[in-house]
Amino acid sequence: MSRRTIKRTCSVSGVGLHMGVPVKLVFEPAAPGTGIRFRRDDREGAEIPALVEHAVLAERRTQLGEGHGAIHTVEHVLAAVAARGVDDIVIAMDAPEPPIMDGSAGPFFTALGEAGFSEQDGDGEVFTIEERIELSDGESRYSAAPGEGLTLDVEIAFPHPLIGHQRGEYRVTSDSFERELAGARTFGFVREVEGLRAKGLIRGASTSNAIVLDEHGVIETTLRWPDEFVRHKAMDCVGDLALIGGRLNARVHAVRPSHRGTVLFVRELARVVNRSNASC
């Protein structure tokens, strides 16, 4: 499987979900072997590879690096890049966090499609799971079994009349991601807003870029699917699983997934795959 980059530069702009800072994000073609890399142009071009060894266990988001040069809330961008099958790309930003856009991966997925794709030298990285792997982190539980391509089986449970228990299974390809997952938006509850903002989070959140629920239903929006909530969690998993550094052949079951839990799970996947490769 040859490596893939984009044909031309493309960009999106908006405000970050948690930091609330205006940002322009630019997707740039990259040479074979570059991988997926984020670059902070407001920090003298500091780059961070989108690999699990650079991931930090952060609240309510997936973060790469620490300190003033960190990249926050990368999961939606990574989901779009992974679903498009892009191996080599530089994601340049002039702020610490990608724009939240409408709360989904859809705008990033669309921008990449408009940029077009180019095959290039070298083979794409493929990680194949050969044995069952399990991990638990608090309420989050994960397992991976051998599979061809990536299949996600995701379950969530929230004590809210619009959510309750939801479960969805998705065979992740570019086409199925566009149909089933790309447009699923992030969500949160009115009761959490004050506490999260006191921690410096969701400063850029609004009903135009997130599904906000009070005790009765959604506020100032309508759902795109009745089960948009589990679809969004599955989309987040696509992005976080991309931190393994390539395409993943596995059947993954995630129960109440969190960004923290998925990062820990990817670390375990990488450890087992690397150990398997080392023994060959």
Q: What is the pLDDT of residues 114-153, one digit of tens each?
A: 999 999 999 999 999 999 999 999 999 999 999 999 999 9
* Total number of domains in the chain: 2
Residues 117, 136, single domain; the answer is no
Does residue 279 have a pLDDT over 50?
Answer: no
Residue recorded with tokens 């699990």: 52
Which of 123, 148, 170 is the endpoint of a domain? 123
Decide: helix, strand or coil at residue 184. coil
Contact assessment for residue 110 and residue 58, using Cβ atoms and an 8 Å cutoff: no
* 57 and 147 in a common domain: no
Q: Are residues 213 and 90 in the same domain?
A: no
Say if residue 139 is in the same domain as residue 203.
Answer: yes
Which residues, other chains included, contact 267 with Cβ-Cβ below 8 Å and sequence gap of 6+?
52
pTM of the model: 0.95
Angle between helices 75-83 and 106-115 (to 10 degrees): 40
Q: Tell me: do 168 and 133 sit in the same domain.
A: yes
Do 114 and 70 share a domain, yes or no?
Answer: yes
Contact yes or no for 58/66 (Cβ under 8 A): no
165 carries an active-site annotation? no
Where is the domain boundary, 93, 123, 153?
Answer: 123
Backbone angles phi, psi at 156, to 5 degrees: -135, 160
Q: How far is it, in rounded angstroms, from Cα 262 to Cα 240? A: 6
End-to-end CA distance of the chain: 21
Residues 67 and 169 in one domain: no
Alpha-carbon dihedral 93, 50, 206, 221, rounded to 10 degrees: 120
Query: What is the tens place of the pLDDT at every residue in 31-70?
Result: 999 999 999 999 987 899 999 999 999 989 999 999 989 9
The domain that contains 178 carries what CATH number? Answer: 3.30.1700.10
C-alpha 114/C-alpha 129 separation (Å) is 33
The residue among 63, 96, 123 that closes a domain is 123
Do 195 and 156 share a domain, yes or no?
yes
Which domain does 245 fall in, by range? 126-278
Same domain, 107 and 136: no
User: Is residue 96 located within the same domain as residue 133?
Assistant: no
Identify the band that residue 280 occupies on the pLDDT scale cut at 50, 70 and 90.
very low
